[in-house]
Amino acid sequence: MREPEAGCPGGEVEPLPSWAVWWGSLGWWLADALITVSQVQLLQRIGEAKVSDGELWRMSLASSLLWVPITVMCLRLSERVPLVRARLGRALAVHLGALLLVVVGRAGFVVLTQESIGWYERMPRVADVLAQSVVNNLLPFILLTAGAHALGLARRAHVRQRRADQLQAQLAEARLQALASQLRPHFLFNALNAVASLVHVDPDAAERMLARLGDLLRHGLDSHGRQEVTLREELDALAPYLDIERVRFGPRLSVTYDVPPEVLEARVPYLALQPLVENAIRHGLAPRAEPGRIDIRAERDGGTLCLRVQDDGVGPPAQVAPRGGGVGLSNLRARLTTLHGARATLALRPASPRGTVVEVRVPFAVEPRREAA
């Protein structure tokens, strides 16, 4: 599966909702303030600390609550500028800039609120306050950044697993639909009837027909588990089905291919072509007695691979929406969405002057090992 761009807003994972980020951070740091106050009060009881309750609450609450916006900033930075290898330099610069802002900002806050909160009995030099800010804030900032990235990794892993499960379920459904289509009594009866009619007049053709029927059923039962195959493999898998249909329909069915060699190694969803061709034969050409034609085309359009299956049959019903289609097309559309999101589309529309055209557009990508070759 293609690796989505890490941290891409609106891509692999959605950003955490603002209300959850702010309320979660507020609750966490209020708990931290309460724990700090409780610890100091315990020390006071045994005479190890001397500070009034008012000063203790002011300093604990001010110090902890100041971390709330910093925590939100760390979470948002981990979502928008994650520390990933592809953009490590820029990400490090952004996070180090944020660390500098935190150190200087908290030191400035201490200087400005010294009179009201009383951080020190006697105000030290600004340089000493800055040094103290580095010591106090460096480790919490690193822990916050690491925690935000760990949360992001966990969310991405959860989304990937859920997407993989969804793809497996959709692929299994597509395979069952393809197998059910191949095992339909009407299809098998016509295929076997065509074999029977060839046995005496053309035994070699009958043997080839049976062999192609076997190839088709074996292909439907194979379970190699790949979500994507090359266009060359997909065309090879489609060949037995079309060979059988050509024998069944005889001169009533002709098929043309327009697939340039440079797109044969492009990746396409497994079982992407068969439902398109089956839809053209069953709903476009089979209902009428005249000869019909199916054109299978593939082309690269920039960063997109365009697959187009067009027939000159009866065309889609007038009430069918342009993005409609049967169960097979609906399943393929769902798989495209899971694999590529909005970057992949499937559209069904009337062809000119007649018939139906189904167009699938997916991001253009080739098998890495073949690309290297």
pLDDT of residue 373: 40
Residue 96 structure tokens: 């180090």
Residue 276, both tokens? 């398109």
Dist CA 213 CA 183 (whole Å): 10
Between CA 82 and CA 88 the distance in angstroms is 8
Instruction: Name the residue with higher pLDDT: 248 or 16.
Output: 16
pLDDT at 264: 92
Dump pLDDT digits (tens) for 145-167: 999 999 988 988 888 888 888 77
pTM of the model: 0.58
Of the candidates 208, 88, 78, the residue with the CA atom closest to the CA atom of residue 143: 78
Residue 1 · residue 164 · CB < 8 Å:
yes
For residues 58-86, average pLDDT:
89
Q: How far apart are CA 42 and CA 48, in angstroms?
A: 9
Q: Given pLDDT bands bounded at 50, 70 and 90, which one contains residue 299?
A: very high
